[in-house]
Chains A and B, each alone.
Chain A
Amino acid sequence: MHFVLTEEQAMIGETARAFFAENATSERTRAAMAADGIDAALWSAFCHELGLSGIGIPESAGGAGLGLVELAIIAEAAGAQVAALPMLGSLALSAQAIAAGGSAEQQAAHLPGLLSGETIAAYVHDAGLTADGDTLTGEAGFVAHGASAQLLVVTSNTGAWIVPADAPGVTVTALTTMDQTRPYARVTLAGAAGEPLADAAAGIAAAHRAGFVTLAAEALGGAQACLDRTASYAKERVQFGRAIGSFQAYKHRLADMMIEIEQARSAVYWAACAADEGSDEAALAVHAAKSFAADTYFMCAGNMIQLHGGIGFTWEHDSHLFFKRARAIQSMLGSGNWHRKQVATMILGEAA
């Protein structure tokens, strides 16, 4: 038992933070927001120059090995800059699903493209999907970065398929989305042919585990950035002849942010580490992390706007990037109430 980052993990964190701070600038993110929500040059640099895209994917599947702890470290760093990247759909969900549930051939066919960034995949979940053999009919309304994807990983509650986005029967409609760094698309499948994953259950489980942890880590990074930026502002902005951070009403809100963030940090790395170690607690931990970190992020982003006053409400200021990303994470891959409902079932059994 040693619940702190190893030196190697700390170094990955430093590298990733420096990379995103330098490259995922507000200006570049805003350019991506005006387009499809992906900073293509950043994604390419992330996959090639930084070489971090294979983290959390086994070396046997062409990845860089390591685990969810390292994936969380990367996602935390990306989240701190609200980086406009298809990391969630392409890596945390689709690549994880293929690595855990795909045959060797499927892995060889699809993972290199995903890890190099040449192919972007989106994760399409439709609980009501009808599968006639491997012919798929259904619809998913909120597919992150769906309009930018060349490849779809489609899941129902029991099956998982790989479907090229340009296959016959597939319609992808971009949606105007509140969080422009991760716009949604509606994906309609009308008798589209899918290539089934060899082990759908393993693929879905891995995707969900990694997806929950990635969103939680992104939320943690975002929440910490909200606090850091607001704390800096609190020391500069003067009203009534004092730095506004000297007012107790202000300080206490900052403190409340830090209290939640520290718990969110415990949640994210507990969940990631428990999943990597195959601990019995992992199933509960990933639900705890997703729900807790998402709520923490939203609370911090809301406070960021409030504590910046009028400037925080402007389009020009970055507060709204955090605020909208936080809101999106709260709903994505299950609401906080849904995740807590799973936790309640684990400890109380089903409600009568």
Chain B
Amino acid sequence: MKLGFSPEEELFRKECADWLNAEMAGEFRDIKGITKLTASPERRKEWEQRLGEARWGCIGWPSAWGGRDATLAQQVIFAEEYARAGVPGRVNHIGIELAGPTILAFGTEEQKQRFLPDIAAGKTIFCQGFSEPGAGSDLASVRTKGRLEDGEWLVNGQKIWTSLAHISDWIFVVTRTEEGSKGPKGLTFLMMPIDQPGIEIRGIKQINGDAEFNETFFTDARCAADSMIGAVGDGWKIAMGLLAFERGVSTLGQQMGFRNELDEIIAAAKANGAANDPLIRQRIARAEIGLRLMRYGALRMLSNTDHSKIDGAALTYKIQWASWRRSLGELAMDVLGQGGEVAEGSEYEWDTLPNLFLYSRADTIYGGTNQIQRNLIAERGLGMPREPRGDV
């Protein structure tokens, strides 16, 4: 068991930090410190390409596909330095962390060559088409239909909560391709270009006034036959494989974003005197401890190579961070007081902390609600009987 980094790794840290800081002080200084995923989309696409050119876009990928074959420690370091330098979140995180690894794991050689270099180069932005109005927690009940006609898939139906669909180039969707099939059977995983007449995107205004998520409508939308990942009927297997990639090293970068949020709360508490209140001090200490434990939980999960047993740290990670962040939002408002409930201008737009308070209500819902997480933990982690299923 070892926590420290080697001198070579510390050198790598410096290399990352130097490059990121130079970029954030130079050509991309206008996007430094942005926390909202929806702000300055065009500039942030350019940033994706800059990362790609310099081969910093997906360092954990094989070098043959635009990565650096980075070790776990190097990936940890890069994620930390990325956030420390105030670089905004990746608008192509779905491409880098989900679509790319899925293509690497399940795609054909031809598909790897077609997609991976462009994802790595920041030229293809991906979004995820899983949830539907009738398939939220119960993902296997998707109804969006796919049928093969004249060597091409035609897709009809509706997806929802497609984060950043409005700035994406491609979408991967789970479609029901076997007429009359139910549940996880008869599903197929397709990748489709978004810019086509059969796809329409409508933003969903959220409680914070922003619109990161979308409804995506498919009306005879087209998908080339060779853009199917895996075989017909493999959709569920591939979707589940993809979700396993979700708990990668990027979680550490996400945590650095949390670090910045907590630091902002600490600064606000010091500025307005809340930091002298013993109850607030206890809550800040709890938040600090929770954040550190999140980091070491993630490092345990990433260091673990024994996949023969259920990894408790991995299984509980989602609910842990989501619940922590929701509490952080509440702490932020208690520190800010009523000042947190008033925006600066006439627009319904919120600074980092009030926005955190509102946005974090989504954290405990998307990617598996806290209730679903508890079911999964009890069933997979503790061997409790599965929930009874109604008629599909």
A231 interfacial contact with B, CB 8 Å:
yes
A residues in contact with B371, CB < 8 Å: 252
Given contacts A246-B385, A262-B316, A279-B4, contact A292 B293 (CB under 8 A): yes
Q: Are B293 and A341 in contact (CB under 8 A)?
A: no
Q: Which of B72, B273, B305, B384 counts the most chain A CB atoms within 10 A?
A: B384
Residues of B239-284 whose CB lies within 8 A of A: 266, 269-270, 273, 275-276, 278, 281-282, 284
CB closest chain-A residue, reference B290: A263
Q: Are A1 and B383 in contact (CB under 8 A)?
A: no
- Selected from A235, A256, A270, A340, the residue in CB contact (under 8 A) with B3 is A270
Residues of A308-352 whose CB lies within 8 A of B: 337, 340-341, 343-344, 347-348, 351-352
B25 interfacial contact with A, CB 8 Å:
no
What per-residue 1/0 map shows which CB atoms of A279-305 lie under 8 Å from chain B?
A: 101001100100110000000000000
A277 interfacial contact with B, CB 8 Å:
yes
Number of B residues near A (Cβ < 8 Å) is 55
The interface stretch among A4-12, A159-167, A184-192 is A4-12
**Interface residues of A, dominant DSSP:** helix
B297 interfacial contact with A, CB 8 Å:
yes
A residues in contact with B1, CB < 8 Å: 2-6, 9, 69, 269, 273
A255 interfacial contact with B, CB 8 Å:
yes
A64 interfacial contact with B, CB 8 Å:
no
Binding site for A on B (CB under 8 A): 1-5, 9, 72-73, 76, 266, 269-270, 273, 275-276, 278, 281-282, 284-286, 288-290, 292-294, 296-297, 299-300, 302-305, 312-313, 315-316, 319-320, 371, 373-375, 377-379, 381-385, 387-388
Binding site for B on A (CB under 8 A): 1-6, 9, 69, 227, 231, 234-235, 242-243, 245-246, 248, 250-252, 254-256, 258-259, 261-263, 265-267, 269-270, 273-274, 277, 279, 281, 284-285, 288, 291-292, 337, 340-341, 343-344, 347-348, 351-352
Beyond the given A245-B382, A344-B282, please list 19 additional residue pairs across the A-B interface where CB-CB is below 8 A: A1-B299, A1-B303, A2-B303, A3-B1, A4-B305, A6-B1, A234-B382, A243-B385, A245-B378, A252-B375, A254-B377, A255-B382, A258-B312, A258-B378, A266-B300, A266-B313, A269-B300, A288-B293, A344-B281
Q: Which 4 A-B pairs have the closest CB atoms?
A: A251-B378, A255-B374, A340-B285, A255-B377
